[in-house]
Structure 1
Amino acid sequence: MKECMWCNEDGAVETTKTGFWELHDGTRALQIDEIPAVCCSSCGMEYHEDDVIEEIEDQLLLIDTKKLGEVVTFKELMATERFLKKNYFKFYN
């Protein structure tokens, strides 16, 4: 178990969840299955951690999203070939 970022109790477990992302160009939304997530048995909160969200956002900026179907798994998304190696527009970290 790990500490929940919402209630700070040690009742959180790592799991996977489905999420929905609107593409950066606003043309459509994408269903992403099996995204790493945290579920807390103490407060009931289910969430994706910030680093996972950032990883998804960066990947969606760096790939040809027109090649993606309506539904993709997290692993498939992250394995998609990139135009660039990293997000050069992120000036922090």
Structure 2
Amino acid sequence: MQCTWCEKKEVQETTKTCYWVMPDGKDYVEISQIPAKSCQNCGIYLTDEMNQEIDNHLYMKDLSDYSNSITFNDLLEAPVIDVFSLK
């Protein structure tokens, strides 16, 4: 596997905890156990694809039953927002 930034081939799979601002901009969520890359030169980082995936899930998932801390797997398994029942 190759590093996205420095292109070295010594990248390993790991996980990372990050904070995201919710789509409404009024709150944040701590997401733990996010699949990430670890490079000796660049440190631990999320790929652009992973950033986009998290953004997409935050827009379409109903997290009202969760606290401000959630695991990546819980985010993926959260129910989809029912836009037809919104007022």
TM-score using structure 2 length: 0.86
**Which residue of structure 2 lines up, in the alignment, with residue 12 of structure 1?**
11
Residue type of the alignment partner of 2:10: G
How many residues were matched structurally?
Answer: 82
In structure 2, C-alpha distance between the alignment counterparts of 1:16 and 1:36, rounded to whole Å: 5
Residue type of the alignment partner of 1:75: N
Show the 5 A alignment for 1:33-48: 33-41=32-40, 43-48=41-46
The SS at the match of 2:64 is: helix
* Stretches of 4+ aligned residues off by more than 6 angstroms: none
Asked if 1:60 corresponds to 2:58, the answer is yes
- CA-based RMSD of the aligned residues comes to 1.3
Indicate if the aligned counterparts of 1:22 and 1:30 stay in contact, CA closer than 8 A: yes
In structure 2, C-alpha distance between the alignment counterparts of 1:5 and 1:44, rounded to whole Å: 9
Gaps of 5+ in 2: 83-87
The SS at the match of 2:79 is: coil
**Which residue of structure 1 lines up, in the alignment, with residue 67 of structure 2?**
69
The SS at the match of 1:19 is: strand
Gaps of 5+ in 1: 85-93
In structure 1, C-alpha distance between the alignment counterparts of 2:38 and 2:2, rounded to whole Å: 10
